[in-house]
Chain A
Amino acid sequence: MTKASLATVWLDGCSGCHMSFLDMDGRLLDIAGRANIVYSPLVDVKEFPQNVDVTLVEGAVSSEDDLEKIKMVRSRTKILVSLGDCAVTSNVPGMRNPYGPAQLLQRAYIENVTINAQLPGPLVPKLLAQSRPVHKYVDVDVFLPGCPPTADQIFWVVDELLAGRIPDTTTMSRFGT
Chain B
Amino acid sequence: MSEIIIDPVTRIEGHSRISIQLDDRGQVVDAHFHVTQFRGFERISQGRPFHEMPALMARICGICPVSHLIASAKACEEVMGVSIPPVAVRLRRVMNLAQIVQSHALSFFHLSSPDLLLGFDADPAGRNFLGVAEAAPQLALDGVAIRKFGQQIIERLGGKRIHPGWIVPGGVSHPLEAEQRDEILAGIPEALERVRRTLSWYKANVAGWADEAAVFANFPTLYMGLVHDDGNIGYTDGDMRVIDGTGKILADHRDPKPYWDYLGESVEPWSYLKSTYWKDLGYPEGLYRVGPLARLNVIDQFGTAEADDELGQYRDRLGRYPASSFYYHHARLLEMLDCIHSIAANLSDPGILDKRVRAVAEPNRSEGVGVSEAPRGTLLHHYRVDENGQVEWANLIIATGHNNLAMNRGVLEVARKYVHGTQIPEGMLNRVEAVIRCFDPCLSCSTHAIGEMPLKLQLLAADGQILDELAR
Contacts and interface: CB of A to CB of B under 8 A. Distances in A.
A22 B63 CA distance: 11
B376 interface: no
B51 interface: no
Contacts of B253: none
A58 B42 CA distance: 22
A51 interface: no
Contact of B62 (A47, A148, A151): A148
A19 B154 CA distance: 13
A40 B444 CA distance: 17
Contact of A15 (B130, B161, B449): B449
Interface in A17-65: 17-20, 22-23, 25-26, 28-29, 32, 37, 39-48, 58, 62-63, 65
A127 interface: yes
A48 B58 CA distance: 30
Contacts of B60: 14
B40 to A, nearest CB: 3
A96 B43 contact: yes
B44 A16 contact: no
Interface in A109-142: 109, 112-121, 123-125, 127
A14 B128 contact: no
Given A29-B133, A65-B36, A123-B19, A18 B450 contact: yes
Contacts of B448: 10, 13-15
Given A17-B62, A47-B471, A120-B272, A108 B264 contact: no
Contacts of A29: 133
Nearest to B448: A15
B62 A120 contact: no
B271 A25 contact: no
Contact of B274 (A13, A46, A109): A109
A132 to B, nearest CB: 14
Contacts of A151: 161
A41 B56 contact: no
Contacts of B34: 123-124
Interface in B2-33: 10-11, 13-15, 19, 32
A118 B269 contact: yes
Contact of B130 (A22, A39, A42): A42
Contact of B106 (A13, A22, A105): A22
Interface of B: 10-11, 13-15, 19, 32, 34-40, 42-44, 56, 59-63, 65, 106, 110, 124-130, 133, 144, 147-148, 151, 160-163, 260, 264-272, 274, 279, 283, 395, 444, 448-454, 456, 471-472
30 contacts: A14-B59, A14-B62, A14-B448, A15-B444, A16-B59, A19-B162, A28-B144, A41-B449, A41-B450, A45-B472, A46-B471, A47-B456, A65-B36, A96-B44, A101-B40, A103-B43, A104-B40, A105-B40, A107-B42, A108-B42, A112-B395, A114-B283, A115-B264, A118-B267, A120-B269, A120-B272, A123-B34, A148-B62, A150-B160, A150-B161
